Structure 1
Amino acid sequence: MDDQAPAHGRRRDGWRNRRGRPVRAALLVALVAQAGAGWAAHAQPEARPVDVWARLLLLAGPVLLVWRHRHPVPVVFGVCGVTLAYLAAGYPYGPVFLAVVVAVLAAVSAGHRYAAWTALGLLWAGHLLVAHWLYRWLPPAGDEPGSWTAELGATAWVLVLLAVAELARTRRERAVRERAERAARERRRADEERLRIARELHDVLAHSISVINVQAGVGLALLDSDPEQARSALTTIKAASKEALGEVRQVLDALRAPGAAPRTPAPGLAQLPELVAQAAAAGLAVRVDRPEAGAPGAGAPAATELAAFRIVQEALTNVIRHSGARTALVRVTRAPGALEVLVTDGGPAAGTDAGGSGTGLVGMRERAAALGGTLEAGPEPGGGFRVRAVLPVEEG
């Protein structure tokens, strides 16, 4: 409870701060308008003196600004209406337009650009009407029509305000779009990482569990008739489970410390003899044909060797699970700019349910595609099954 209370307090304080910003901004606009009205009246003696009604009109606009984020359209029309009433009453020009600027910017930033344009256009047209026609019947008495030079200045002011509002809107939309793109990239990276982890765990466990499953069947069948052979099967199960636990621990260690170097090197083609031994324990004789260590072109980047190892591992697992063959061939060759992996068996397909999830081939294709390579898998014309992967390798 002690940990939750401060967090709740921070959320409440943040909410209060967000609510307080419009109020503080509106208060600042009101203070500037009230203080600037006296200066404007002194600079424009021909205008109507600033009285109580002028003060109320100067206060009404900033009060409306308090709700500019929640109701931007009514606020921008209300502020422009109050401003037009102030001008029609003959009061001096000046800081009264500050509330209009804030209301227009808020409406455009909120996505109501046409409403803001309309409100500002109506204010401009209303001012034009007051200054050149209605002035005869409006205070102050004896007023004269406005100057067309001044109208050009007012028009320029309106256009500048619209341009600034559009610039603010564009920057806001760009920021929103960039945040959305960053969030999408983060989600995509998270999805790819989850897929990589699932694929790694599948490849780590599938082969060992297949060996364990086969040896468990052998042990059960020979438990009474051949205890020594059953003991050998149990020994194989122990070794396979220990290796599987070690590889799972390696994956989990990488998850706990994503930036740390792994404690043990990732599997590569140098570990093929271990795969062969595990397959032999499951009754599958595997012949490996690959370049000798140290031969020209024998090496490959660690990521490529890991993908090749996992593809061979999954292909042999599928042979153990789904094929009646007792022999398989693994051939690894280096061509210019590529590492080719071929795994074949003589078949025939097993007629029983092996209990697989059906994601093995999908995982192999994903591993090859992640490196820009290709993978082909399918039955051989003369029987059996073939898996062939071509993984690109940059030449040094």
Structure 2
Amino acid sequence: MVLLHRRFPLLTTVGALAASNLFLHFGYAYGPAFISPAVLLFLLVVRGRRALGWAMAGVAVLSYLGYAWSIGNVDFFHSVWVLTSNTLLMVVAELVRIASERRRERERTAEEEARRQASEERLTMAQELHDVLAHNISLIHVQASTALHLIDDNPEQARTALATIKTASKEVLGEMRSVLNVLREGAPRSPTAHLDRLDELIERSGQRVTLERNGSRPLPPQVERAAYRIVQESLTNAGRYAPGGDVRVLLDFGEDELLIRVTDTGATGPAPLADEGSGNGIPGMRERASALGGTLVAGPHGDGFQVEARLPLPKESS
């Protein structure tokens, strides 16, 4: 009956109770005949059929007490024992059911959290790819235009531009390979977006950039990545819309925030990519800052443009 119970819960429980009552009516001693109905009543509750389980438990108590009274056994303690044992069985079943439901709820919550984290990681990787591709392809475009313009009159400067193209294309391929490795194998990604690489970023930008650091302190990885990408995107925009201008990058490490300010003096020549931008640079930077609880303001500044971001920092441990 236990094997058929999942498919026929009512019929198997009634059959087990009937069999145990027949066992009593034929005068056999108390024993294993009560195990089968007890197991089936327990399974009814654990499998979520609580109303049916408690109803059948009441039927079982009445049938056992009815048999005892029919043979003249009206002992009060015997009746209490029958009622208490069945009630205890059902209470234990309820506790097991509750524990099982809580375990399933924890598992479901853990699965949802894992899916949420995986989704956030995919969004982060997509944003990283966007920033890397936008910066390096813009850089390649500008340097290629420079090389084509100077290849006849100034081959040495054209050679420098081509070397920059080679370096930028190698970096973007490396970034794409690392992200694809994460997607395919879950392999750890190298921390390429690091403020220690700002000098290299500035050198490859092909612009006149002044970097100023006020203070220094260890940063959480997400803050460091956001800061690097904000500077990177700001330099990309400066190269796209203000070629030939001077750019000043300020990193101010405060007690509770990191101030990032990138200011350019405006274009001194034609902007080769002015009409080719995706329009996602500033919104993307603002999203990065907002995700960390910070702010980002961007707009005209004198003849040029300025991006100012403030990223909150945890208090330094004493």
Q: Which residue of 2 aligns with 1:156?
A: 84
Residue 114 of structure 1 is matched in structure 2 by 51
Cα distance change on mapping 1:302 and 1:95 into 2, 3 Å? closer
Following superposition, the deviation at residue 385 of structure 1 comes to 4.5
Find the partner of 1:176 among 101, 104, 115.
104
CA distance in 1: counterparts of 2:258 and 2:91, whole angstroms: 59
- Distance in 1 between residues matched to 2:64 and 2:225, nearest whole Å: 76
* Secondary structure of 1:161 counterpart: helix
Match of 2:13 among 52, 76, 79: 76
Q: Post-superposition shift, 1:249?
A: 5.1
Residue 331 (structure 1) aligned to one of 250, 258, 261: 250
1:172-209 Cα shifts (integer Å, max 9, x gaps):
11221222222223223323332333333333332111
Aligned to 1:103, the other structure's residue is in SS state helix
8 Å contact 2:295–2:311 — kept in the other structure?
yes
Query: Any idea what the Cα deviations from partners look like across 1:274-315, whole Å, max 9, x if unmatched?
Result: 2222222xxx44332223xxxxx3233372444322221122
Q: Which residue of 2 aligns with 1:290?
A: 213
Q: Taking structure 1 as reference, are residues 84 and 363 closer, same or farther at Cα in structure 2, changes over 3 Å only? A: farther
Q: CA 1:202/1:112 → structure 2, altered by over 3 Å: closer, same or farther?
A: same
1:279 counterpart = 2:205: yes
Q: Does 1:395 align with 2:316?
A: yes
Equivalences for residues 60-139 of structure 1 within 5 A: 64-87=1-24, 91-132=28-69, 135=70
Given candidates 146, 170, 192, the residue that maps to 1:242 is 170
Which amino acid in the other structure matches residue 286 of structure 1? V
Counterpart AA for 1:301: L
CA 266–351 in structure 1, closer or farther in 2 if over 3 Å, else same: closer
- Aligned 8 A contact 1:285 1:326 in 2: yes
Greater mean alpha carbon deviation, residues 243-252 or residues 331-340: 243-252
Structure number with the bigger relative contact order (C-alpha 8 A, sep ≥ 6) is 2
Paired amino acid for 1:317: T
- Alignment RMSD, CA only? 3.5
Secondary structure at the aligned position of 2:316 is classed as coil
Q: For 1:320, which of 217, 236, 239 is the aligned residue?
A: 239
Task: Give the counterpart of 1:378 among 293, 298, 301.
Answer: 298
For residues 197 and 66 of structure 1, the distance between their equivalents in structure 2, rounded to whole angstroms, comes to 50
| Structure 1 position 299 matched with structure 2 position 187 | no
Q: Deviations over 1:343-383 (max 9, x none)?
A: 23456998623246x2x44554554456x441313324767
- Which of 173, 187, 204 aligns to 2:115? It is 187
Counterparts of 2:77 and 2:52 in 1: how far apart (Å)?
Answer: 28
Cα distance change, pair 286–215 in 1 and its aligned pair in 2 (3 A): same
Amino acid at match of 1:354: G
- Given candidates 229, 233, 247, the residue that maps to 1:310 is 229
Q: Percent identity?
A: 36
1:352 correspondence with 2:275: yes
Contact 2:282 2:298 in 1 (8 A): no
Relative to structure 1, the CA distance from residue 259 to residue 379 in structure 2 (aligned partners, 3 Å threshold; closer, same or farther) is: closer
- CA pair 365-351 structure 1, distance change in 2 beyond 3 A: closer
Matched residues in 2 for 1:172 and 1:236: separation? 61
Tell me the SS of whatever aligns to 2:6: coil
Q: Secondary structure of 1:65's partner?
A: coil
TM-score normalised to structure 2 length: 0.79
SS in structure 2 at match of 1:384: strand
- 2: distance between equivalents of 1:323 and 1:108? 73
Q: Give the letter for the 1:298 counterpart.
A: S
Question: Which amino acid in the other structure matches residue 83 of structure 1?
Answer: S
- Name stretches of at least 5 consecutive residues in structure 1 with no aligned partner: 1-63, 136-142, 292-296
Structure 1 SS opposite 2:216 = coil
Q: State the match for 1:29 in structure 2.
A: none
1:341 is matched with 260
8 A contact 2:194–2:228 mirrored in 1: yes
Selected match of 2:132 from 204, 210, 213: 204
Q: Which amino acid is 1:111 matched to?
A: G
Q: Secondary structure at the match of 2:61?
A: helix
Partner Cα distance (1:231, 1:390) in 2: 39
Task: Please state whether the residue corresponding to 2:48 is helix, strand or coil.
Answer: coil
Unaligned runs of 5+ in 2: none
Matches within 5 A, 1:47-62: none
Q: Give CA deviations for 1:149-180 in whole Å, capped at 9, x if unaligned.
A: 31111111111111111121122112212222
Paired AA for residue 98 in structure 1 = I
The total of aligned residue pairs comes to: 309
